[in-house]
Amino acid sequence: MKLENAVVLVTGANRGLGLAFAQEALARGARKVYAAARNPASITLKGVVAVKLDVNNPEDVARVARDCADVTLLINNAGVAEKGGVLGENAEAMLRRQLETNLFGPLRLSRSFAPVLASNGGGGIINVLSIASWITGPVLATYSATKSAAWSMTNALRQELKEQHTHVLGLHVGFIDTDLASDFDVPKIAPELVVTRTYDGLEQNAYQVLADDPTQQVHQALSSYPDIYLHALESH
């Protein structure tokens, strides 16, 4: 799928990776870019259409799908991360909060925009996932669980939207140099580089993008056939 002449909707587009997605979409010739955020006044990028959207609000999601009926590429970027292990006192509450944004948010948007994309020729969906979809630890254990769930959901979407020719791409990446990772003293990749590699992958019809070296190394170590999960589970 090409970015040139596409109509793109980016969630969480007011800063960080979402802002970089919106900027690069314009640079690659997108016809229109909807930049979505809970507070549309926080959208300062010139050339985009600011949209009020809380991905956890079903009414917001339905309104945006209705009002942005020309979208050909949905980018589910909005996400949250909380520190904590699965045995902590607040683990269940943390997990529920993060699932709302990291799993149910992209699911709501994808379900609502599926008919929109179909009516516009199929288009595509990019789901922002993580290296934490595959590996975890006590610091980000609940976050990791939500990204694992989002990865599985992304693979299911790919299978279910295949008939309407909607291309679904999963972006996996480690720590990005944004506010979300500001508390972590680790090597980080620039958001602009992540976006460049993701859009390059989309334009090459890739099903997934492994945007940095750590993610590529972890993926390679998963198994001798690391792309097996791209195929559907068939019943006979």
CATH assignment of the domain containing 145: 3.40.50.720
pLDDT at 121: 97
Residue 156 lies inside a defined structural domain of this protein? yes
The pLDDT value recorded for residue 9 is: 98
Residue 26 forms part of a structural domain: yes
pLDDT of residue 226: 59
pLDDT in tens, 35-79: 999 999 999 999 999 999 999 999 999 999 999 999 999 999 999
What phi and psi, each to the nearest 5 degrees, are found at residue 108? -60, -45
Do 45 and 8 touch, CB atoms closer than 8 A?
no
Percent of the chain with pLDDT over 70: 92
User: Does residue 80 fall inside a structural domain?
Assistant: yes
Question: What was the pLDDT predicted at 233?
Answer: 63
Q: Is the pLDDT of residue 235 over 90?
A: no
pLDDT for position 229: 66
Give pLDDT, residue 225. Answer: 64
To which residue do tokens 């945007």 refer? 211
C-beta pairs of 82-85 under 8 Å, 24+ apart in sequence = 82/142, 82/143, 83/139, 83/140, 83/143, 83/183, 84/138, 84/139, 84/141, 84/142, 85/138, 85/139, 85/141, 85/142
Place of tokens 């980000």: 140
Tell me, yes or no, whether 2 lies in a domain.
no
Could you tell me if residue 236 is inside a domain? no
Domain that holds residue 212: 7-230
Banded model confidence at residue 27, pLDDT cuts 50, 70, 90: very high
Count of domains for the chain: 1
CB atoms under 10 Å from CB of 229, counted, come to 18
pLDDT single digits (tens) 86-118: 999 999 999 999 999 999 999 999 999 999 999
- pTM for this prediction: 0.93
- For residue 119, pLDDT beyond 60: yes
Residue 1 included in any domain: no
Q: How far is residue 49's CA from residue 63's CA, in Å, rounded to a whole number?
A: 15
Q: What is the mean pLDDT of residues 13-31?
A: 97
60 located within any domain? yes
Amino acid 236: pLDDT: 46
Contact 126, 75 (CB under 8 A): yes
**Cβ–Cβ contacts within 10 Å for residue 4, how many?**
9
Could you report the per-residue pLDDT of 156-210, keeping only the tens digit for each?
999 999 999 999 999 999 999 877 666 767 778 999 999 999 999 999 999 999 9
Is 95 contained in some domain?
A: yes
Per-residue pLDDT of 128-147, as tens digits, reads 999 999 999 899 999 999 99
